[in-house]
Each structure stands twice: as structure tokens, then as C-alpha cells.
Amino acid sequence: MDIKHSLKQRIVIVFALMSTLVAGVFAIGIIATVHLVEKRLTTMSLGGNLHRLLALDSVDDWRHRPDKDELFYADEGVGDLAMSDDLKGLRPGFQEFSRGKKAYYAMVSVVNGRHYVLLRDQRKFEKRERILFGVVLIGFVLSVLLAVLLGRLLASRVITPVSRLAGQVRHRDQLLEMAPVLASDYASDEVGALARSFDETLGRLRAALSREKLFTSDVSHELRTPLMVLATSCELLMEYPALDDRSRAQVKRISNATAGMNQLVETFLLLARTEGRNTPQGQRSSMVLIADELADIWRPSIEAKGLTFVYQRHEGDGEAYNAPLLRSVMGNLLRNAWHYTDQGFIQLTLRTDGFSVEDSGIGIPLEKQQAMFEPFVRGDEQRGEGLGLGLSLVQRICANQRWTVSLTTRADGGCCFTVLLKPDSPAG
């Protein structure tokens, strides 16, 4: 499992682990050293005491006694000096010896064939060891806690420049042409190198945004002229007296389409400039009127392909929406259904809270449905038409207008796109 931590947490963790390792090594070293020194000192002390006792007098007429925490035995001793069987099996030299629940240090010496044993109770040493272990453990815990505290303090100072740089990069003014250079605020270290990289990347991004603004301005200028020519030509044709009713209806459709295209171009260009914020209201209309218009436009094309077009109309509540954007969403979904359906039907259903477009086409695999709303993604790569921008545009418009669009797969094949509309307000 990939566990992600912040940079500050990782610094604290590394600092604490390193301090724990160092403190642990020192604690083990102290305990091992004390144990070794204690054993050496006890060996020297017991050996010296045993030789001192043997040199003082004859054991047969014993008048001396060992230290109060020591016991002396001889293999031919009598009374308190008598050596028990468990002591007779001890080898010469220093060793540890247990009798019942008591533990002793034993020093055994052989003089003229006679065995002598000097025992020292280990309880005093064990008490000192417990105290030592307690002191070492407390020191270890305090070292770890101090390491965590120091790690947090040092981490805060270390990541302060990084946090400051992240805040500056996130600031919206960095995309402006006159944005200040970031690297000048930092030293020539790793953070400074990162700031210089951000300066270079943001510079390229500002240049790309500038080129995009110029492009959208050029597109806006170039498209206005032919649209104006189309609109003017339609007005002149409508005034032509010899125009029959059928031709007049066709000219009227061209005029309406031209007006809608002009409004749509203006809206999309402003969407690109403002990144979807503060979109103008523009022409407004109800969902029913737009659906009626698109049904009339798409019915001939759908039926010409041998498909059945089903239009389930619902009067709705008369709520007015951004007409060019709603027309673009509904039109793109109908175009998408027409493009990917070869037999069966296409159905446009109006609801009280939105509309849906169903088809009996080739469908979209479940694992690919989420990606269908990304730019340049198409349902069937083998079909030569289209760039895969229609559904991406639908997603962008819905996000801007706070509508929601969803895609589901029909049980008997095909797709169902559902758009839920809300009273539109500029998306922030």
C-alpha cells in the first residue's frame, strides 16, 4: 500500500528514525559495556577475596569470615563451611551458579587437591542493573521525543521556502505578463533552482496563453465577416418578391442558423478567454423551444439514414436557459447519436429537470465511458469522421452552467446521455 506523507512529515519521520537508531545503538552499547565491566570487576573482586581468605589462616581452625554478601565453603569443611554436593561439581574459576531461586557469582579454587568456593549473592547487582536499565530506557524515550520535537522545528524551517514558493506559484497573478520573477526571492540552492524552473515553465505558459488570446481574437474577427454576409444575404432574399413559401422557409432556417452560429461563436470565444468564468447570459430560451428546433433540424437526417426518430415532448416549467449553450449541448448529443447509430432508433426525451438522448448504436465500453468526455477521445476509432471534441465540449458547457451530464449503457445496446438542468447562473 502506497502511504503518502507530506514533506514535513517525512522529514520528522526520518529524523526520528535516525535518532531512534542512534539512541538504540548507544543504549545497547551502554548496557553491554556495563555488563562486561561488572563481570570483569566481580571476577577480580571474588578472586581477590578468595585468595585473601585462604591466606589468612588454616581452614581447620577458621576464625575469619567473608564479606556479608559472600559465602565460603571447603570440601573438607565442617559446619557452615561444609560444601554441598551441588558445589563440588563446579569447575575451577569464575562462573554463575543458581541454588533454588537465588543466583550467585561463584569463584572456585583448588589448592593442594582441596576445593574452595566463594559465593556472592547477585541480588545487589541485579538491583543495580534494573536501575541502569530504567535510566537507559528513560533516556532512550526522552531522546526519541526530543528528536521528534527537534524534527518538527527543523522541518518547519526547512519547508518554509518550499511552502512559500508553492503559494506564489498557486497565485493567479503569476499568469499575468508583468508577474514578478520568483527566483530572485530565494538563495542559490535547491529551492532556488526549483524557483528558476517554475519561472521558465510559467514563462512558456504565459507565452502560450498570449498566443491563444491572439488566435481567439483572430478567429472572432475572421468569423464575424462571413456570418454578417450570410445574415445580410438572408435579409435581402426574404425581401425578394418572387420567392415562394418553401424557399422563404429555407432562407428563414438559414437566417436562424446564422444568428445562432453568431451567438454561439461569441459565447465560445468568451468561454475560451475567461476560462469558463463570467460567461455572458446571451440569448435565452426554454428547453422545449430549443428541442422543437433541433428535432425539426435532425429528423430528416436521422430518417434519411434509415433510423427511427422518437421525440417525447414535455412542456416543462418554462425556465429560460442560455440558448446557444443549451442548443450546442443538445445538438452535439444528437449528432453523436446519429454518427454512431447504424440501425434502430434515436430518442430525444424531455423531462421536468432536463432531457436525455438515447440510441441503439454501437455503445461505449464501461471502462471507456469516463474518458469519452475528454478532448480527442472517440467511441469508435475506425470511423473517419469527427475529432472527438463534441462530448468534451458538452462537458465543458455543463460544468460552466452548473448542469450535469451522465452516460449510461442501455441493457439491449446503445447509450443514454442524460443532462440535468438547473436555473443557470455564471459558474464561478
Question: Cβ atoms within 10 A of the Cβ of 26, count?
Answer: 14
DSSP single-letter state for residue 185 = G
* All cell numbers assigned to 369: 465511458
Q: What is the pLDDT of residue 227?
A: 80
Task: Give Cα separations from 131 to 20, 92, 140 (angstroms).
Answer: 21, 32, 14
Cα gap 363→412, rounded to integer Å: 10
Number of H helices, E strands in the chain: 9, 11
CA dihedral (370, 373, 374, 376) in degrees, to 10, reads 120
Task: Tell me the pLDDT tens digit for each residue of 219-248.
Answer: 666 777 788 888 888 888 888 787 788 888
Mean pLDDT of 411-423: 83
Task: Tell me the pLDDT tens digit for each residue of 359-380.
Answer: 998 877 776 666 676 654 555 5
Residue 355 — pLDDT band, cuts 50, 70, 90? very high
User: Domain limits of the chain?
Assistant: 7-145, 190-273, 279-420
In the beta sheet, which residues pair with residue 346? 309, 359
Q: Which amino acid is at 121?
A: D
Task: Tell me the pLDDT tens digit for each residue of 137-163.
Answer: 888 888 888 888 888 887 777 777 777
Q: Assign domain 279-420 to its CATH architecture.
A: 2-Layer Sandwich (3.30)
Q: What is the pLDDT of residue 420?
A: 92
Task: Tell me the pLDDT tens digit for each residue of 14-23.
Answer: 878 888 888 8
Residue 402 has pLDDT above 80, yes or no: yes
Mean pLDDT of the chain: 77
Percentage with pLDDT > 90 across the chain: 7
CA-wise closest residue to 186 among 174, 175, 198, 178: 198
Residue 37 — pLDDT band, cuts 50, 70, 90? confident
Task: Tell me the pLDDT tens digit for each residue of 285-333.
Answer: 889 999 998 898 888 888 988 999 999 987 766 788 888 888 888 988 9
Residue the block writes with cell 464501461: 366
Of the candidate ranges 137-146, 205-214, 341-350, the one whose mean pLDDT is the lowest: 205-214
CA-wise closest residue to 66 among 105, 100, 25: 105
Q: What is the pLDDT of residue 83?
A: 79
Q: Which helix (H) or strand (E) holds 376?
A: none
CA dihedral (59, 64, 68, 70) in degrees, to 10, reads -20
Residue 356 has pLDDT above 90, yes or no: yes
Residue 341 has pLDDT above 80, yes or no: yes
Cα gap 260→253, rounded to integer Å: 10
Cα gap 285→388, rounded to integer Å: 28
Q: What is the pLDDT of residue 375?
A: 52
Mean pLDDT of 81-106: 81
Residue 388 has pLDDT above 60, yes or no: no
